[in-house]
Amino acid sequence: MTTLNEVLDAVMELPAEQQEMLIQIVRQRTIENRREEIAQAAQVSISEFRAGKLKVQTAAEVISDLRRIDPIVRS
């Protein structure tokens, strides 16, 4: 298995243009992975809602609930 330091050393040996290309590729793949995670979470939520495991709430109700359980949301 290649270590992160080994990868970074290899990247530093690339020309600047290829380093920039690599940054763009990694950034795009990270975005695509996050989108996939969000889509999967949405599918789970939709399934749970259809199964009656979730209740219908307004945005104000959700925010109010979050403020009660998470002090960070209060600000």
One digit per residue, the tens of pLDDT, for the chain of length 75 reads 999 999 999 999 999 999 999 999 999 999 999 999 999 999 999 999 999 998 899 999 998 988 888 777 665
C-alpha to C-alpha distance for 20 and 5, rounded to whole angstroms:
18
pLDDT at 75 (0 to 100) = 57
pTM for the predicted model, two decimal places: 0.67
Helix or strand (DSSP H, E) at 5: helix 4-12
Residue 19 lies in domain = 4-74
Structural contact between residues 54 and 48, judged by C-beta atoms closer than 8 angstroms:
yes
pLDDT at 73 (0 to 100) = 62
Q: Taking the chain, what is the end-to-end CA distance rounded to the nearest angstrom?
A: 44
The domain total for the chain is 1
Identify how many contiguous H helices and E strands the chain contains and give both numbers.
3, 0
